[in-house]
């Protein structure tokens, strides 16, 4: 399994630098079940099976398949008073296991996993989409226009030509 390529804005680099590797928490049973269910391909999109029930691509609601995948494939980790860095640590743990699951899934990639921390409430989101050359990743807009901390991880191999 190849290591994902990554890039992070300065805010995320600072946050990650402050986390100890030992502080990465185990994931909850609900999140582990979501990963265990894997992904499905539906309407030309790769979706987390656990989150895809009733999902259907709608060109009026989603600008393209990339936006659709990001809307469906998003998990939020709330910050708490007990451990403000726990949301980020949990999001990073989930992102790592999500990458492993995507690479084992057999679905053609490559994929982009986006981890972001909201500058206001310190909650974190993890979402992913298949990379498509003709579509713009939401990460590109977010890195340019956001006050949030952003980490982008590209993984998976492209389909054979």
Q: What are the per-10-residue average pLDDT scores of the chain (161 residues)?
A: 82 86 78 94 89 71 83 90 81 94 90 92 92 78 72 80 54
Q: Note the pLDDT of residue 81.
A: 75
Kindly report whether the global pTM for this prediction surpasses the value 0.85.
yes
CB contact at 8 A, 124 and 61: no
CA distance 99 to 124: 17
Q: Note the pLDDT of residue 85.
A: 84
Class of residue 151 by CB neighbours under 10 A (exposed 0-12, middle 13-18, buried 19+): buried
Count of alpha carbons within 13 angstroms of residue 50, beta-carbon side: 13
SS3 4: coil
Q: Note the pLDDT of residue 74.
A: 93
Q: Note the pLDDT of residue 139.
A: 65
Q: Note the pLDDT of residue 112.
A: 95
CB neighbour list of residue 125: distance below 8 Å, 6 or more residues apart: 74, 75, 76, 77, 91, 114, 115, 116, 118
Q: Note the pLDDT of residue 2.
A: 66
Q: Note the pLDDT of residue 65.
A: 86
E strand or H helix that includes residue 40? strand 39-42
CA–chain centroid gap for 93, Å, is 11
Quote the tokens at residue 135. Answer: 């579509």
């Amino acid at each position: 399994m190849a290591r994902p390529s990554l890039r992070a804005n300065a805010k995320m680099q600072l946050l990650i630098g402050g986390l100890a590797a030992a502080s990465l928490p185990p994931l909850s049973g609900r999140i582990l079940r979501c990963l265990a269910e894997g992904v499905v391909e539906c309407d030309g999109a790769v979706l987390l099976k656990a989150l895809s029930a009733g999902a259907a691509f709608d060109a009026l609601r989603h600008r393209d398949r990339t936006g659709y995948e990001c809307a469906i494939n998003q998990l939020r980790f709330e910050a708490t008073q007990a451990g403000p860095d726990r949301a980020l640590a949990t999001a990073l743990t989930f992102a790592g296991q999500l990458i492993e699951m995507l690479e084992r899934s057999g679905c053609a990639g490559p994929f982009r996993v986006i981890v972001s921390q909201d500058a206001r409430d310190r909650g974190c989101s993890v979402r992913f989409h298949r990379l498509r050359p003709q579509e713009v990743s939401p990460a590109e807009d977010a890195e340019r226009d956001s006050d949030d901390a952003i980490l982008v991880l590209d993984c998976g191999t492209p389909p054979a030509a």
